[in-house]
Protein backbone atom coordinates (compact mmCIF):
# COMPACT_ATOMS: atom_id res chain seq x y z
CA UNK A 1 0.00 0.00 0.00
CA UNK A 2 1.23 3.50 -0.90
CA UNK A 3 2.03 5.33 2.35
CA UNK A 4 1.44 8.72 0.74
CA UNK A 5 -2.17 7.81 -0.07
CA UNK A 6 -2.85 7.44 3.67
CA UNK A 7 -1.72 10.97 4.49
CA UNK A 8 -4.12 13.94 4.51
CA UNK A 9 -4.10 16.04 1.31
CA UNK A 10 -3.33 19.28 3.22
CA UNK A 11 -0.11 17.74 4.52
CA UNK A 12 0.99 16.68 1.04
CA UNK A 13 0.15 20.11 -0.39
CA UNK A 14 1.26 22.51 2.31
CA UNK A 15 3.80 20.48 4.30
CA UNK A 16 6.67 22.52 2.80
CA UNK A 17 5.26 25.80 4.11
CA UNK A 18 4.27 24.34 7.50
CA UNK A 19 7.90 23.38 8.14
CA UNK A 20 8.80 27.05 8.44
CA UNK A 21 5.57 28.87 9.29
CA UNK A 22 4.52 26.67 12.22
CA UNK A 23 7.71 27.02 14.35
CA UNK A 24 7.93 30.74 13.53
CA UNK A 25 4.39 31.40 14.77
CA UNK A 26 4.80 29.14 17.81
CA UNK A 27 8.12 30.77 18.66
CA UNK A 28 6.49 34.19 18.71
CA UNK A 29 3.68 32.84 20.90
CA UNK A 30 6.20 31.77 23.55
CA UNK A 31 6.57 35.44 24.51
CA UNK A 32 3.17 35.28 26.26
CA UNK A 33 3.36 31.70 27.58
CA UNK A 34 3.61 31.97 31.38
CA UNK A 35 4.60 28.41 32.27
CA UNK A 36 7.64 26.42 31.26
CA UNK A 37 5.81 23.09 31.03
CA UNK A 38 3.26 24.48 28.57
CA UNK A 39 6.08 26.00 26.52
CA UNK A 40 7.93 22.67 26.36
CA UNK A 41 4.75 20.79 25.35
CA UNK A 42 3.93 23.22 22.55
CA UNK A 43 7.54 23.18 21.34
CA UNK A 44 7.64 19.39 21.30
CA UNK A 45 4.33 19.09 19.43
CA UNK A 46 5.38 21.69 16.86
CA UNK A 47 8.69 19.98 16.12
CA UNK A 48 6.96 16.59 15.99
CA UNK A 49 4.64 17.98 13.30
CA UNK A 50 7.67 19.42 11.49
CA UNK A 51 9.36 16.01 11.56
CA UNK A 52 6.20 14.44 10.12
CA UNK A 53 6.17 17.09 7.38
CA UNK A 54 9.87 16.47 6.61
CA UNK A 55 9.31 12.70 6.47
CA UNK A 56 6.34 13.21 4.15
CA UNK A 57 8.41 15.45 1.88
CA UNK A 58 11.23 12.88 1.77
CA UNK A 59 8.76 10.19 0.70
CA UNK A 60 7.29 12.51 -1.94
CA UNK A 61 10.75 13.27 -3.34
CA UNK A 62 11.50 9.55 -3.60
CA UNK A 63 8.13 8.99 -5.33
CA UNK A 64 7.82 12.13 -7.47
CA UNK A 65 11.21 13.83 -7.64
CA UNK A 66 11.71 17.57 -7.13
CA UNK A 67 8.89 19.44 -5.34
CA UNK A 68 8.15 23.13 -5.83
CA UNK A 69 5.87 25.23 -3.62
CA UNK A 70 4.93 28.74 -4.74
CA UNK A 71 4.44 31.00 -1.73
CA UNK A 72 1.27 33.10 -2.09
CA UNK A 73 0.61 31.56 -5.50
CA UNK A 74 3.21 33.82 -7.15
CA UNK A 75 5.07 32.05 -9.94
CA UNK A 76 8.87 32.00 -9.71
CA UNK A 77 11.17 33.74 -10.45
CA UNK A 78 9.01 36.71 -9.42
CA UNK A 79 7.57 34.99 -6.37
CA UNK A 80 9.33 33.15 -3.57
CA UNK A 81 9.67 29.42 -4.22
CA UNK A 82 10.26 26.65 -1.72
CA UNK A 83 12.08 23.66 -3.19
CA UNK A 84 12.55 20.13 -1.85
CA UNK A 85 14.73 17.65 -3.72
CA UNK A 86 17.13 14.79 -3.11
CA UNK A 87 19.71 17.22 -1.69
CA UNK A 88 17.51 19.09 0.78
CA UNK A 89 15.00 16.42 1.91
CA UNK A 90 17.46 14.40 4.09
CA UNK A 91 18.76 17.61 5.73
CA UNK A 92 15.21 18.76 6.53
CA UNK A 93 14.48 15.38 8.11
CA UNK A 94 17.80 15.47 10.00
CA UNK A 95 17.16 18.93 11.50
CA UNK A 96 13.58 18.19 12.57
CA UNK A 97 14.39 14.70 13.91
CA UNK A 98 17.34 15.97 15.95
CA UNK A 99 15.12 18.73 17.35
CA UNK A 100 12.61 16.13 18.57
CA UNK A 101 15.36 13.95 20.06
CA UNK A 102 16.90 16.94 21.82
CA UNK A 103 13.53 18.01 23.23
CA UNK A 104 13.16 14.64 25.00
CA UNK A 105 16.35 15.55 26.79
CA UNK A 106 15.47 19.20 27.32
CA UNK A 107 13.19 19.14 30.34
CA UNK A 108 15.73 18.28 33.08
CA UNK A 109 18.64 19.91 31.24
CA UNK A 110 16.95 23.29 30.75
CA UNK A 111 15.69 23.30 34.35
CA UNK A 112 19.26 22.85 35.56
CA UNK A 113 20.91 25.42 33.29
CA UNK A 114 18.41 28.20 32.45
CA UNK A 115 16.82 30.67 34.88
CA UNK A 116 13.13 29.85 35.59
CA UNK A 117 11.73 33.14 34.30
CA UNK A 118 13.56 32.70 30.98
CA UNK A 119 12.64 29.11 30.16
CA UNK A 120 9.50 29.81 28.10
CA UNK A 121 11.44 32.44 26.11
CA UNK A 122 14.26 29.89 25.74
CA UNK A 123 11.91 27.47 23.98
CA UNK A 124 10.63 30.33 21.83
CA UNK A 125 14.15 31.19 20.72
CA UNK A 126 14.76 27.50 19.99
CA UNK A 127 11.67 27.31 17.75
CA UNK A 128 12.75 30.41 15.84
CA UNK A 129 16.26 28.94 15.45
CA UNK A 130 14.78 25.70 14.09
CA UNK A 131 12.52 27.65 11.71
CA UNK A 132 15.54 29.56 10.41
CA UNK A 133 17.53 26.38 9.80
CA UNK A 134 14.63 24.68 8.04
CA UNK A 135 13.88 27.82 6.03
CA UNK A 136 17.42 28.26 4.73
CA UNK A 137 17.40 24.64 3.55
CA UNK A 138 13.98 24.72 1.87
CA UNK A 139 13.90 28.15 0.22
CA UNK A 140 14.68 28.55 -3.45
CA UNK A 141 15.29 32.30 -3.16
CA UNK A 142 18.87 33.46 -2.55
CA UNK A 143 17.95 36.53 -0.50
CA UNK A 144 15.57 34.43 1.61
CA UNK A 145 18.55 32.19 2.37
CA UNK A 146 20.24 35.23 3.94
CA UNK A 147 17.07 36.14 5.86
CA UNK A 148 16.67 32.66 7.32
CA UNK A 149 20.40 32.45 7.99
CA UNK A 150 20.10 35.56 10.14
CA UNK A 151 16.89 34.36 11.81
CA UNK A 152 18.65 31.20 12.95
CA UNK A 153 21.86 33.03 13.89
CA UNK A 154 20.25 35.78 15.99
CA UNK A 155 18.17 33.28 17.95
CA UNK A 156 21.30 31.14 18.41
CA UNK A 157 23.19 34.06 19.94
CA UNK A 158 20.35 34.41 22.46
CA UNK A 159 20.33 30.67 23.21
CA UNK A 160 24.08 30.60 23.81
CA UNK A 161 23.92 33.67 26.08
CA UNK A 162 21.20 32.03 28.19
CA UNK A 163 23.87 29.69 29.54
CA UNK A 164 25.28 32.55 31.63
CA UNK A 165 23.46 31.40 34.79
CA UNK A 166 25.60 28.24 34.69
CA UNK A 167 28.76 29.77 33.24
CA UNK A 168 29.37 33.50 32.85
CA UNK A 169 31.68 32.75 29.95
CA UNK A 170 28.56 32.06 27.88
CA UNK A 171 28.11 35.83 27.48
CA UNK A 172 31.61 36.18 26.00
CA UNK A 173 31.00 33.16 23.76
CA UNK A 174 27.70 34.64 22.52
CA UNK A 175 29.41 37.98 21.85
CA UNK A 176 32.23 36.34 19.86
CA UNK A 177 29.67 34.29 17.93
CA UNK A 178 27.67 37.47 17.24
CA UNK A 179 30.66 39.38 15.87
CA UNK A 180 32.03 36.59 13.69
CA UNK A 181 28.56 35.46 12.63
CA UNK A 182 27.72 39.00 11.55
CA UNK A 183 30.93 39.19 9.53
CA UNK A 184 30.04 35.90 7.84
CA UNK A 185 26.51 37.09 7.09
CA UNK A 186 27.89 40.33 5.64
CA UNK A 187 30.23 38.46 3.31
CA UNK A 188 27.38 36.19 2.27
CA UNK A 189 24.89 38.97 1.48
CA UNK A 190 27.57 40.90 -0.45
CA UNK A 191 28.07 37.75 -2.54
CA UNK A 192 24.32 37.56 -3.16
CA UNK A 193 24.39 41.22 -4.19
CA UNK A 194 27.09 40.51 -6.77
CA UNK A 195 25.05 37.62 -8.14
CA UNK A 196 21.97 39.80 -8.38
CA UNK A 197 24.04 42.44 -10.19
CA UNK A 198 25.16 39.77 -12.68
CA UNK A 199 21.87 37.94 -13.21
CA UNK A 200 19.08 40.36 -12.26
CA UNK A 201 17.23 37.67 -10.28
CA UNK A 202 17.18 36.17 -6.80
CA UNK A 203 15.55 32.86 -7.69
CA UNK A 204 18.29 30.25 -7.37
CA UNK A 205 17.18 28.13 -10.32
CA UNK A 206 16.90 31.24 -12.49
CA UNK A 207 20.36 32.37 -11.36
CA UNK A 208 21.77 29.03 -12.40
CA UNK A 209 20.22 29.19 -15.86
CA UNK A 210 21.43 32.75 -16.47
CA UNK A 211 24.98 32.02 -15.26
CA UNK A 212 25.06 28.93 -17.48
CA UNK A 213 24.03 31.06 -20.45
CA UNK A 214 26.77 33.55 -19.59
CA UNK A 215 29.35 30.72 -19.40
CA UNK A 216 29.97 31.45 -15.73
CA UNK A 217 29.49 35.19 -15.93
CA UNK A 218 31.98 38.01 -15.63
CA UNK A 219 34.40 38.84 -12.84
CA UNK A 220 31.37 40.07 -10.87
CA UNK A 221 30.10 36.48 -10.55
CA UNK A 222 33.58 35.25 -9.63
CA UNK A 223 33.89 37.77 -6.81
CA UNK A 224 30.36 36.91 -5.68
CA UNK A 225 31.27 33.23 -5.45
CA UNK A 226 34.37 34.03 -3.39
CA UNK A 227 32.34 36.15 -0.95
CA UNK A 228 29.74 33.38 -0.59
CA UNK A 229 32.38 30.73 0.12
CA UNK A 230 34.01 32.89 2.82
CA UNK A 231 30.66 33.87 4.37
CA UNK A 232 29.45 30.29 4.55
CA UNK A 233 32.92 29.20 5.68
CA UNK A 234 32.47 31.33 8.80
CA UNK A 235 29.02 29.87 9.42
CA UNK A 236 30.13 26.25 9.04
CA UNK A 237 33.36 26.74 11.05
CA UNK A 238 35.77 26.03 8.21
CA UNK A 239 39.39 26.35 9.34
CA UNK A 240 40.68 29.03 10.00
CA UNK A 241 37.25 30.72 10.31
CA UNK A 242 36.26 28.55 13.25
CA UNK A 243 37.18 30.66 16.25
CA UNK A 244 33.59 31.19 17.42
CA UNK A 245 32.79 27.49 17.70
CA UNK A 246 34.80 26.18 20.71
CA UNK A 247 33.48 28.86 23.06
CA UNK A 248 29.89 28.54 21.83
CA UNK A 249 29.88 24.75 22.22
CA UNK A 250 31.66 24.77 25.59
CA UNK A 251 29.65 27.45 27.41
CA UNK A 252 26.14 27.28 25.94
CA UNK A 253 23.45 25.28 27.74
CA UNK A 254 23.90 21.55 27.01
CA UNK A 255 20.63 21.40 25.05
CA UNK A 256 21.81 24.22 22.76
CA UNK A 257 25.24 22.66 22.21
CA UNK A 258 23.66 19.32 21.24
CA UNK A 259 21.30 20.92 18.73
CA UNK A 260 23.94 23.23 17.22
CA UNK A 261 26.53 20.46 16.87
CA UNK A 262 23.97 18.25 15.13
CA UNK A 263 22.31 20.73 12.80
CA UNK A 264 23.69 24.28 12.46
CA UNK A 265 26.99 23.52 10.74
CA UNK A 266 25.23 20.83 8.66
CA UNK A 267 22.73 23.37 7.31
CA UNK A 268 25.60 25.72 6.40
CA UNK A 269 27.43 22.86 4.68
CA UNK A 270 24.24 22.11 2.75
CA UNK A 271 24.17 25.73 1.55
CA UNK A 272 27.77 25.50 0.37
CA UNK A 273 26.87 22.39 -1.63
CA UNK A 274 23.76 24.07 -3.01
CA UNK A 275 25.50 27.25 -4.13
CA UNK A 276 28.72 25.68 -5.40
CA UNK A 277 27.15 22.88 -7.43
CA UNK A 278 23.65 23.98 -8.45
CA UNK A 279 23.77 27.78 -8.83
CA UNK A 280 27.35 27.71 -10.12
CA UNK A 281 28.75 24.87 -12.20
CA UNK A 282 31.83 22.67 -12.40
CA UNK A 283 32.28 23.87 -15.97
CA UNK A 284 33.25 27.27 -14.53
CA UNK A 285 37.04 27.32 -14.04
CA UNK A 286 36.95 29.62 -11.02
CA UNK A 287 34.58 27.26 -9.16
CA UNK A 288 36.87 24.29 -9.81
CA UNK A 289 39.95 26.30 -8.76
CA UNK A 290 38.47 27.52 -5.45
CA UNK A 291 37.02 24.15 -4.46
CA UNK A 292 39.80 21.85 -5.65
CA UNK A 293 42.68 23.99 -4.36
CA UNK A 294 41.63 26.58 -1.77
CA UNK A 295 38.99 24.47 0.02
CA UNK A 296 41.09 21.31 -0.30
CA UNK A 297 44.07 22.85 1.51
CA UNK A 298 41.91 24.34 4.27
CA UNK A 299 40.09 21.01 4.73
CA UNK A 300 43.34 19.05 5.17
CA UNK A 301 44.91 21.60 7.52
CA UNK A 302 41.68 21.79 9.52
CA UNK A 303 41.49 18.00 9.90
CA UNK A 304 44.98 17.78 11.33
CA UNK A 305 45.28 21.07 13.23
CA UNK A 306 41.88 20.83 14.96
CA UNK A 307 42.52 17.21 15.93
CA UNK A 308 45.85 18.18 17.50
CA UNK A 309 44.13 21.05 19.31
CA UNK A 310 41.54 18.60 20.68
CA UNK A 311 44.27 16.47 22.25
CA UNK A 312 45.46 19.32 24.46
CA UNK A 313 42.06 20.48 25.73
CA UNK A 314 41.20 19.88 29.39
CA UNK A 315 37.43 20.44 29.00
CA UNK A 316 35.56 17.59 27.29
CA UNK A 317 33.21 20.04 25.57
CA UNK A 318 36.17 21.82 23.97
CA UNK A 319 37.65 18.47 22.96
CA UNK A 320 34.44 17.67 21.11
CA UNK A 321 34.21 21.22 19.72
CA UNK A 322 37.65 21.02 18.09
CA UNK A 323 36.72 17.55 16.92
CA UNK A 324 33.73 19.09 15.12
CA UNK A 325 36.05 21.48 13.29
CA UNK A 326 38.12 18.49 12.16
CA UNK A 327 34.98 16.65 11.02
CA UNK A 328 33.94 19.68 8.96
CA UNK A 329 37.34 19.25 7.31
CA UNK A 330 36.43 15.66 6.40
CA UNK A 331 33.23 16.83 4.71
CA UNK A 332 35.01 19.62 2.85
CA UNK A 333 37.72 17.19 1.75
CA UNK A 334 35.20 14.99 -0.06
CA UNK A 335 33.57 18.07 -1.57
CA UNK A 336 36.92 19.29 -2.91
CA UNK A 337 37.44 16.08 -4.92
CA UNK A 338 34.66 17.27 -7.29
CA UNK A 339 33.66 13.70 -8.05
CA UNK A 340 30.46 11.74 -7.58
CA UNK A 341 32.06 9.42 -5.02
CA UNK A 342 33.62 12.35 -3.15
CA UNK A 343 30.32 14.21 -2.83
CA UNK A 344 28.57 10.99 -1.79
CA UNK A 345 31.17 10.50 0.96
CA UNK A 346 30.78 14.12 2.11
CA UNK A 347 27.02 13.80 2.33
CA UNK A 348 27.25 10.49 4.18
CA UNK A 349 29.55 12.06 6.76
CA UNK A 350 27.32 15.13 7.03
CA UNK A 351 24.46 12.88 8.15
CA UNK A 352 26.51 10.45 10.25
CA UNK A 353 28.43 13.14 12.10
CA UNK A 354 25.16 14.72 13.25
CA UNK A 355 24.20 11.47 14.97
CA UNK A 356 27.69 10.84 16.36
CA UNK A 357 28.34 14.29 17.79
CA UNK A 358 24.77 14.57 19.03
CA UNK A 359 25.21 11.34 21.00
CA UNK A 360 28.50 12.51 22.51
CA UNK A 361 27.17 15.87 23.66
CA UNK A 362 24.00 14.25 25.04
CA UNK A 363 26.17 12.05 27.25
CA UNK A 364 28.42 14.94 28.35
CA UNK A 365 25.37 17.03 29.21
CA UNK A 366 24.00 14.21 31.37
CA UNK A 367 27.32 13.97 33.19
CA UNK A 368 27.23 17.69 33.95
CA UNK A 369 23.58 17.40 35.05
CA UNK A 370 24.39 14.63 37.53
CA UNK A 371 27.83 15.66 38.84
CA UNK A 372 28.51 19.16 37.46
CA UNK A 373 31.68 17.97 35.67
CA UNK A 374 33.09 18.77 32.26
CA UNK A 375 36.87 18.45 32.74
CA UNK A 376 38.57 15.29 31.44
CA UNK A 377 40.24 14.71 34.82
CA UNK A 378 36.85 14.64 36.53
CA UNK A 379 35.62 11.75 34.40
CA UNK A 380 37.54 9.22 36.48
CA UNK A 381 35.53 6.13 37.26
CA UNK A 382 32.42 7.29 35.38
CA UNK A 383 32.07 3.81 33.86
CA UNK A 384 31.16 2.67 37.37
CA UNK A 385 29.11 5.64 38.57
CA UNK A 386 27.23 6.25 35.27
CA UNK A 387 27.58 2.97 33.33
CA UNK A 388 24.70 3.48 30.88
CA UNK A 389 25.68 7.05 30.08
CA UNK A 390 29.34 6.17 29.70
CA UNK A 391 28.49 3.20 27.47
CA UNK A 392 26.52 5.46 25.12
CA UNK A 393 29.42 7.94 25.10
CA UNK A 394 31.83 5.08 24.31
CA UNK A 395 29.81 3.85 21.34
CA UNK A 396 29.55 7.34 19.86
CA UNK A 397 33.25 7.97 20.62
CA UNK A 398 34.31 4.80 18.84
CA UNK A 399 32.15 5.85 15.90
CA UNK A 400 33.90 9.23 15.83
CA UNK A 401 37.25 7.44 15.66
CA UNK A 402 35.97 5.25 12.83
CA UNK A 403 35.96 1.80 14.42
CA UNK A 404 34.41 -0.88 12.14
CA UNK A 405 30.67 -1.57 12.52
CA UNK A 406 29.99 2.07 13.37
CA UNK A 407 28.67 4.98 11.31
CA UNK A 408 32.02 6.76 11.50
CA UNK A 409 33.76 3.82 9.83
CA UNK A 410 31.26 3.95 6.95
CA UNK A 411 31.94 7.67 6.46
CA UNK A 412 35.72 7.35 6.52
CA UNK A 413 35.73 4.28 4.28
CA UNK A 414 33.61 6.13 1.73
CA UNK A 415 35.90 9.14 1.92
CA UNK A 416 39.12 7.10 1.66
CA UNK A 417 37.70 5.21 -1.33
CA UNK A 418 36.79 8.47 -3.04
CA UNK A 419 40.28 9.85 -2.38
CA UNK A 420 41.91 6.74 -3.85
CA UNK A 421 39.68 6.90 -6.95
CA UNK A 422 40.61 10.55 -7.38
CA UNK A 423 44.28 9.59 -7.31
CA UNK A 424 44.90 11.26 -3.97
CA UNK A 425 46.68 8.50 -2.09
CA UNK A 426 48.14 11.12 0.24
CA UNK A 427 44.59 12.09 1.30
CA UNK A 428 44.00 8.52 2.49
CA UNK A 429 47.06 8.94 4.69
CA UNK A 430 45.68 12.22 6.09
CA UNK A 431 42.36 10.53 6.89
CA UNK A 432 44.18 7.73 8.71
CA UNK A 433 46.43 10.16 10.59
CA UNK A 434 43.47 12.29 11.69
CA UNK A 435 41.66 9.13 12.82
CA UNK A 436 44.69 8.19 14.95
CA UNK A 437 44.56 11.65 16.52
CA UNK A 438 40.86 11.07 17.25
CA UNK A 439 41.82 7.80 18.92
CA UNK A 440 44.20 9.78 21.15
CA UNK A 441 41.75 12.44 22.34
CA UNK A 442 38.78 10.08 22.70
CA UNK A 443 40.99 7.36 24.16
CA UNK A 444 42.27 9.79 26.80
CA UNK A 445 38.69 10.33 28.03
CA UNK A 446 37.87 6.60 27.95
CA UNK A 447 41.06 5.75 29.87
CA UNK A 448 40.11 8.10 32.70
CA UNK A 449 36.53 6.84 32.78
CA UNK A 450 37.31 3.11 32.66
CA UNK A 451 40.72 2.67 34.29
CA UNK A 452 40.72 5.19 37.13
CA UNK A 453 38.80 4.85 40.38
CA UNK A 454 35.74 7.01 41.10
CA UNK A 455 36.26 10.06 43.32
CA UNK A 456 35.69 9.82 47.07
CA UNK A 457 33.68 12.10 49.33
CA UNK A 458 34.70 11.97 53.00
CA UNK A 459 36.62 8.80 52.27
CA UNK A 460 33.60 7.05 50.73
CA UNK A 461 33.59 6.16 47.01
CA UNK A 462 30.80 7.81 45.01
CA UNK A 463 28.04 5.28 44.35
CA UNK A 464 26.24 4.61 41.08
CA UNK A 465 24.23 7.70 40.16
CA UNK A 466 22.86 7.25 36.65
CA UNK A 467 21.29 9.95 34.47
CA UNK A 468 17.46 10.18 34.37
CA UNK A 469 15.71 7.87 31.92
CA UNK A 470 14.47 10.84 29.88
CA UNK A 471 18.13 11.70 29.22
CA UNK A 472 19.26 8.13 28.59
CA UNK A 473 16.65 7.41 25.91
CA UNK A 474 17.79 10.03 23.33
CA UNK A 475 21.51 9.31 23.77
CA UNK A 476 20.91 5.58 23.33
CA UNK A 477 18.74 6.20 20.28
CA UNK A 478 21.72 7.90 18.63
CA UNK A 479 24.23 5.33 19.90
CA UNK A 480 22.14 2.45 18.52
CA UNK A 481 21.58 4.35 15.27
CA UNK A 482 25.35 4.66 14.90
CA UNK A 483 25.69 0.89 15.15
CA UNK A 484 22.74 0.27 12.81
CA UNK A 485 24.33 2.49 10.15
CA UNK A 486 27.67 0.75 10.72
CA UNK A 487 26.08 -2.64 10.06
CA UNK A 488 23.74 -1.59 7.25
CA UNK A 489 24.59 1.78 5.71
CA UNK A 490 22.80 1.16 2.43
CA UNK A 491 19.94 3.56 3.09
CA UNK A 492 22.27 6.43 4.09
CA UNK A 493 24.63 5.81 1.17
CA UNK A 494 21.71 5.59 -1.27
CA UNK A 495 20.31 8.91 -0.04
CA UNK A 496 23.75 10.49 -0.31
CA UNK A 497 24.22 9.06 -3.80
CA UNK A 498 20.93 10.60 -4.99
CA UNK A 499 22.03 13.97 -3.56
CA UNK A 500 25.45 13.71 -5.26
CA UNK A 501 23.87 12.88 -8.62
CA UNK A 502 21.83 16.07 -8.31
CA UNK A 503 24.99 18.10 -7.63
CA UNK A 504 27.14 16.80 -10.50
CA UNK A 505 25.42 16.77 -13.90
CA UNK A 506 25.68 13.54 -15.88
CA UNK A 507 27.81 15.20 -18.53
CA UNK A 508 30.43 16.13 -15.94
CA UNK A 509 30.90 12.58 -14.61
CA UNK A 510 33.95 10.79 -15.93
CA UNK A 511 35.84 13.90 -17.02
CA UNK A 512 38.49 13.45 -14.37
CA UNK A 513 37.12 16.21 -12.15
- CA atoms of 124 and 138, how far apart (whole Å): 21
433-439, long-range: CB < 8 A, 24+ apart: 433/304, 434/303, 434/304, 434/307, 434/326, 434/329, 434/330, 435/401, 435/402, 437/304, 437/307, 437/308, 437/310, 437/311, 437/326, 438/307, 438/310, 438/323, 438/326, 438/400, 438/401, 438/402, 439/401
Angle at 170 between CA 130 and CA 475, to 5 degrees: 55
pLDDT tens-place string over residues 345-374: 999 999 999 999 999 999 998 888 888 888
- CA 201 to chain centroid: 29
Instruction: Give Cβ neighbours of residue 323 (< 8 Å, ≥ 6 apart).
Output: 306, 307, 310, 357, 400, 438, 441
Do the domain assignments include residue 177? no
Stated as kind and residue range, the H or E segment containing 461 is: strand 460-461
Q: Report if residue 396 sits inside a domain.
A: yes
Separation of alpha carbons 294 and 278, rounded Å: 19
Specify the number of domains making up the chain. 1
Tell me: pLDDT of 458 over 50: no
Q: What is the pLDDT confidence band of residue 512, given thresholds at 50, 70 and 90? A: very low
Residue 183 lies in a domain: no
Q: What DSSP line would sit under 43-90, residue for residue?
A: HHHHHHHHHHHHHHHHHHHHHH--EEEEGGGPPTTTS-EEEE-TTTHH
Please state the rounded mean pLDDT for residues 122-140. Answer: 91
Residue at 400 is within a domain: yes
d(CA 284, CA 486): 37
Domain assignment of residue 400, given as a range: 287-513
3-state secondary structure of 139: strand
Q: Could you tell me if residue 85 is inside a domain?
A: no
Inside any domain, residue 210:
no
pTM of the predicted model, to two decimals? 0.92
Backbone angles phi, psi at 280, to 5 degrees: -90, -170
pLDDT for 190:
94
Domain-located, residue 261: no
What is the DSSP-derived secondary structure letter of residue 30?
A: G
pLDDT of 343 above 80:
yes
pLDDT bucket at 326, cuts 50 / 70 / 90: very high
For 220-249, how does the pLDDT look when each residue is reduced to its tens digit (9 = 90+)?
888 999 999 999 998 888 888 888 888 888
Assess if residue 208 is contained within a domain. Answer: no
Amino acid sequence: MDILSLLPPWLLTHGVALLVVLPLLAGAAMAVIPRERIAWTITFMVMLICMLCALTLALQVIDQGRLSYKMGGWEPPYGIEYVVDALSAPVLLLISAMAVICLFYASPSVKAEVEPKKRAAFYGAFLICAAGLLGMVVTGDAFNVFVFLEVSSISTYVLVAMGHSRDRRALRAAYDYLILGSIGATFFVIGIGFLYMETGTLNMADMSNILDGLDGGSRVAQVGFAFIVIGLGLKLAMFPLHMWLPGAYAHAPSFVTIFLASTATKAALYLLLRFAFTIFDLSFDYVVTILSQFVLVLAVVGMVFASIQAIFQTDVRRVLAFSSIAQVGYILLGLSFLTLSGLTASYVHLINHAFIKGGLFLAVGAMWYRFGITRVADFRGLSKTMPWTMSAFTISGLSLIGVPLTAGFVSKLQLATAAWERGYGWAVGVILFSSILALVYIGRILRVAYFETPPQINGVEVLKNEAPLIMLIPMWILAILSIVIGINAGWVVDAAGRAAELLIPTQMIGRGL
